[in-house]
């Protein structure tokens, strides 16, 4: 079981789009995937067709409920989900006075049946607060989607600082799996420059697979389908299949 946190405190850099479609592409390769939605915005849960109020991540973090009871099946074939809820925004308050609250998710995931899942993907909110820290502490791997529409290096530098702090204090073996260039439009000089800057700074950590800008991809949440269901022959479906294959290679 590989646990992968998908994080970047920059809002709108395609964390959720990556989490949902990567999960679908891994599942299409016959891998068993659990997506944990740690974002109080609940975007991934809604995309996956979960009705509001379904028990999920908040209960996992705040109770001792059997974790398998907090996992639901989703509208994406082969993908199970531990849904988010608005209450996640108040997690800090709910855990006031408790110890080791950053490693809460890690301890809960230790009770999961290791043989039941191949990949656990964690979608995180656009902050470096307690929810993201729980994801980084529970994960073996960190995957960072980066938008190539606006210069993102300073934001990524801030994330790398948090990554180092988490390795120092909470999760020494956390590995930077890589950066996924997202919303790439290679017709623009801007995207080419940002891509070049990312490769200069992070070298091989930048995935060869990249996700191109696509209207189809932006539409697919409205249909509660992954891009592999919504437009299986689209370039975006191909992008996510390629990302899944590269990720499988990099994690084995």
**Which among 88, 212, 195 has a CA at the least distance from the CA of 151?**
195
Among 39, 104, 108, 163, binds ligand ATP (CB under 6 A): 39
Please report whether residue 13 would count as binding ligand ATP according to CB under 6 A: yes
Is residue 218 part of the contact set for ligand ATP (CB under 6 A)?
Answer: yes
Q: Give whichever of 43 and 214 is closer to Mg ion, judged by the CB atom.
A: 43
For Mg ion, the closer of residues 20 and 60 by Cβ is 20
Per-residue binding string, Mg ion, 119-148, x by CB under 5 A, is ------------------------------
**Residue count of the chain:** 252
8 is a contact residue toward Mg ion (CB under 5 A): no
- Interface stretch with ligand ATP, choices 14-22, 26-34, 64-72, 165-173 (CB under 6 A): 14-22
Provide, rounded to whole angstroms, the least separation between the CB of residue 168 and Mg ion. 27
Burial class (CB in 10 A: 0-12, 13-18, 19+), 69: exposed
Instruction: Return the closest-CA partner of residue 247 out of 161, 154, 163, 143.
Output: 143
- What proportions of the chain, in percent to the nearest 5, are helix, strand and coil? 50, 15, 35
Pick the closer one to ligand ATP by CB: 67 or 87: 87
Looking up tokens 């925004």, which residue turns up? Answer: 89
Q: How far apart are CA 11 and CA 28, in angstroms?
A: 28
- Closest to ligand ATP by CB, 104 vs 183, is 183
Contact between 108 and Mg ion (CB under 5 A)?
no
Using CB distances below 5 to 8 A depending on partner kind, what does residue 171 bind out of Mg ion, ligand ATP, none? none
Report which of 166, 140, 86, 160 is spatially closest to residue 251, judged by C-alpha positions. Answer: 140
Cβ burial 148-158 (10 Å sphere, 16+ → b, else e): bbeebeebbee
Could you say which of 76, 79, 82, 211 contacts ligand ATP (CB under 6 A)?
211
Positions that interact with Mg ion (CB under 5 A):
15-16, 43
């Amino acid at each position: 079981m590989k646990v992968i946190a998908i994080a970047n405190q920059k809002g709108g850099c395609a964390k959720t789009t990556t989490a949902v479609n990567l999960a679908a592409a891994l599942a299409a390769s016959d891998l068993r995937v659990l997506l944990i939605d740690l974002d109080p915005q609940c975007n991934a849960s809604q995309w996956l067709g979960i009705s509001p109020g379904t028990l999920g991540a908040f209960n996992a973090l705040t109770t001792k409920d059997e974790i398998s009871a907090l996992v639901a099946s989703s509208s994406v074939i082969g993908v199970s989900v531990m849904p988010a809820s608005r209450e996640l925004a108040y997690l800090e308050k709910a855990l006031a006075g408790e110890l080791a609250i950053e490693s809460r998710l890690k301890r809960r995931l230790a009770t999961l049946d290791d043989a039941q899942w191949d990949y656990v993907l964690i979608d995180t909110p656009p902050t470096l607060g307690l929810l993201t820290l729980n994801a980084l502490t529970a994960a073996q791997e960190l995957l960072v989607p980066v938008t190539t529409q606006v210069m993102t290096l300073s934001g990524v530098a801030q994330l790398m600082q948090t990554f180092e702090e988490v390795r120092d204090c909470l999760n020494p073996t956390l590995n930077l799996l890589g950066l996924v260039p997202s919303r790439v439009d290679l017709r623009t000089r801007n995207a080419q420059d940002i891509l070049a800057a990312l490769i200069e700074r992070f070298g091989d950590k930048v995935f060869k697979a990249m996700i191109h800008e696509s209207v189809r991809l932006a539409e697919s949440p409205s249909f509660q389908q992954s891009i592999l269901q919504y437009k299986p022959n689209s370039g975006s479906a191909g992008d996510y299949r390629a990302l899944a294959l590269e990720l499988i290679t990099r994690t084995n």
